[in-house]
Structure 1
């Protein structure tokens, strides 16, 4: 239960649905007088556009079947290479039913399935060790992921990355050209740029992008979009957690900042329309501005053309994780699959590489964008103010200049 007046907000939640819990919650939110008389006549549930199935992924497959699949993954991985030391595999599923009642009696409902399969493999040759990870998922049931072809692909990818890591050499260091691969490397866009475009940070003038609407904030070839309406994607929502329909929101258009992501409160305070980005982890948290599926639009170049243009640099295929300071835009990201680029050719795998820079500065240094825009495989979870929510990221292959942290020769 939530009440809002201006910038003030009262929020209460309960773990049970009872008359007593509702009365206690109502007493708490009266701390903020919302100008409502407390009597509400419910209208019919508003129909939402179907973006994904409503089936509960927790049903349909017994625990025994799921355990046997995990055992099969373990046995298959170990049979592929004698250097496999450890296999960790998980099947994760959830089913969230949401009902939202707004002032005036508007009644919105949504049902959100979510599944994910993860495989992590450690390999060793007696002298050194390597680790590889692969995950995938989305708003669907387990059917797509528990077929032998699907989990074998996930296992093979995790093993391939582990073996690449096993033989990798120390990464070089310094300012250099970096080519980011398509898909999951878009997590850097999510962290270094996306969070800075969330409405609450900009209303409070704590973002590196505050007050910059209409200004050039990236190369003219860069267009950034947040879209919660994509079918089956991990970050997709039919409605946000305030009952606003999910939308396709262009944030940066050909390098120009054209919009932020808003929940209802921040949109009202900033005098702009809400964008359907009021999200929360569960009923125990108030909605705040959050991303859904955030990605960079495709360019016109072939990926091979971009790789051939690099005389000395790094090809970052996959990322492990990173952090960003919203106020300054400074970020640090580690790569878990990367290669040397020498005279346009992919060379030896490198390890221990980090990308260090500033989000707005990085966006201005993007010089080439390929036509191979790709979303991640469905593994993203975003944290903000202690809340974790599922998100999607994506981008095409692109080239920029950034400081690489590694080993100085």
Structure 2
């Protein structure tokens, strides 16, 4: 349990003085806030039977922001004190200059809690965590003699946030996060090696993750993927239809469509979806949401990093673009309401529009029938990294588990497959939507402009026509 609560105004800074400085920094501005944060994190990695890394990090500080029009003044410090805040205020005011801005109304408060304030790090002793990782390693080797290497990691963190706005509104949020991940490498009699990984977590304590009932299925899944890849053939190359599995393959949706629906890219006209509200941007039946309100999920936030409560936002409805994800600045400049998507990596960073849990709703097709309708293509179940060009939506994704399909029959696994296309075209070529929508197991991280935040993805089984598959066959 957490006992040491973050109270930044009990240190060398009292709330009355802080509020006065924030009001001075935002005088003549459109918006701004004081963002205070304390974060503690622990990570342990066991590799090949030995503890490879064991780290504990602790940080705290503040970021002060003043916004006028498209200009943002931002200053941060690791020292929470009145003198540091005064210097930050001078920097922020200098950046935005003198102006006649009208301070925007603050966000509406909420009493909703999407996760507990438990401290995951304290829920198990350090020796117990090491013993757990060693047990995973030993169990993996007992499961199959072809296992030659095991990497198991355990990560836990607690982020405490206090946001003070110039109107005196005070917002707090305590955000736990835990994750376990397992990777195995297997080797056959001919010396061929392949790998498989699985894991997950969310905004929860460690107790639910470190039980054998949780980590053993994750280990078995990692081993299964590795053994599948051990039998994989070279992937074919060419333009073909592709069926995507449910859950984590939604990372393709996240990259190919999600980033293009963030407000800043659309306000600046640099997204492939700019100016297309009300237009058909996907096949009928395609409904995409960004939802930060799902309890305990990795991408969920009770409030965003500007103090706005998270929301369940519909982005595409039955193929029609109906909205973008917004922080306060871009929403104001576009004449719409904030959507609770103003996020930042830490107190050292200014917020920007970011995804939370982005997913596509399920349809009514049976997944087996979708595969049966695939005449000649690829069935992609797992993905690794991907990249996207926001301006045109073009993406490239590597598959970690995929199969060749001919005449509706799932054949041999394939290795080295990459999916290449662009988001708007891919969304318009969705030919079937399964009834098996699932969210990912809690492994997503999203990078944008040098900032990383935890996210979630999800989707049902999908058939997409005419994707380019890069392979070696």
Partner SS for 1:407: coil
Contact 2:359–2:458, Cα closer than 8 Å, also in 1? yes
Which residue does the alignment assign to 1:115?
Answer: 178
Which residue does the alignment assign to 1:48?
Answer: 111
2:143 aligned to which of 80, 90, 100: 80
Partner SS for 1:222: coil
Which residue does the alignment assign to 1:9?
Answer: 72
Q: Distance in 1 between matches of 2:127 and 2:109?
A: 39
Higher relative contact order (CA 8 A, sep 6+): 1
Q: Deviations over 1:211-234 (max 9, x none)?
A: 111100000110000000001100
Contact 1:251–1:260, Cα closer than 8 Å, also in 2? yes
Matched, 1:392 2:452: no
Distance apart, 1:407 and its partner CA = 2.4
Q: Distance in 1 between matches of 2:209 and 2:436?
A: 24
Contact 1:47–1:108, Cα closer than 8 Å, also in 2? no
Matched, 1:369 2:433: yes
2:393 aligned to which of 291, 316, 329: 329
Matched, 1:234 2:298: yes
Contact 2:384–2:398, Cα closer than 8 Å, also in 1? yes
Distance apart, 1:328 and its partner CA = 1.0
Which residue does the alignment assign to 1:40?
Answer: none
Contact 1:198–1:289, Cα closer than 8 Å, also in 2? yes
Which residue does the alignment assign to 1:315?
Answer: 379
Which residue does the alignment assign to 2:288?
Answer: 224
Partner SS for 1:144: coil
Q: Distance in 2 between matches of 1:70 and 1:19?
A: 44
Distance apart, 1:19 and its partner CA = 2.1
Distance apart, 1:35 and its partner CA = 6.6
Q: Distance in 2 between matches of 1:379 and 1:284?
A: 24
Partner SS for 1:391: strand
Q: Deviations over 1:34-84 (max 9, x none)?
A: 7799xxxxx9x9553011111111112111111100000000011111111
Matched, 1:137 2:215: no
Distance apart, 1:20 and its partner CA = 2.2
Q: Distance in 1 between matches of 2:217 and 2:415?
A: 24
Which residue does the alignment assign to 2:168?
Answer: 105
Partner SS for 1:13: strand
CA gap of 1:258–1:46, structure 2 versus 1, over 3 A, is closer
Distance apart, 1:89 and its partner CA = 0.5
Partner SS for 1:30: helix
1:354 aligned to which of 408, 418, 425: 418
Distance apart, 1:346 and its partner CA = 1.2
Contact 1:197–1:260, Cα closer than 8 Å, also in 2? yes
Matched, 1:252 2:252: no
Q: Distance in 1 between matches of 2:327 and 2:67?
A: 12
1:199 aligned to which of 254, 263, 284: 263
Q: Deviations over 1:224-253 (max 9, x none)?
A: 000000011000000000000100100000
Distance apart, 1:166 and its partner CA = 1.1
Q: Distance in 2 between matches of 1:274 and 1:46?
A: 14
Q: Deviations over 1:272-297 (max 9, x none)?
A: 11100000111110000000000000
Q: Deviations over 1:277-333 (max 9, x none)?
A: 000111110000000000000001110110111111111001011100000111100
Q: Distance in 1 between matches of 2:357 and 2:197?
A: 22
Give the number of aligned pairs: 402
Q: Distance in 2 between matches of 1:195 and 1:60?
A: 36
Once the two structures are superposed, the pairs formed by residues 258-337 of structure 1 within 5 Å of their partners are 258-337=322-401
Matched, 1:161 2:225: yes
Distance apart, 1:127 and its partner CA = 2.5
2:85 aligned to which of 6, 22, 35: 22
Distance apart, 1:345 and its partner CA = 1.6
Contact 1:3–1:33, Cα closer than 8 Å, also in 2? no
Q: Distance in 2 between matches of 1:403 and 1:329?
A: 14
5+ long unaligned stretches in structure 2: 1-63
| Length-normalised TM-score, structure 1 | 0.96
Which residue does the alignment assign to 1:403?
Answer: 468
CA gap of 1:221–1:34, structure 2 versus 1, over 3 A, is farther
Contact 1:246–1:276, Cα closer than 8 Å, also in 2? yes
Q: Distance in 1 between matches of 2:265 and 2:249?
A: 24
Q: Distance in 2 between matches of 1:340 and 1:111?
A: 46
Distance apart, 1:149 and its partner CA = 1.6
Contact 2:115–2:296, Cα closer than 8 Å, also in 1? yes
Partner SS for 2:218: helix
| Length-normalised TM-score, structure 2 | 0.83
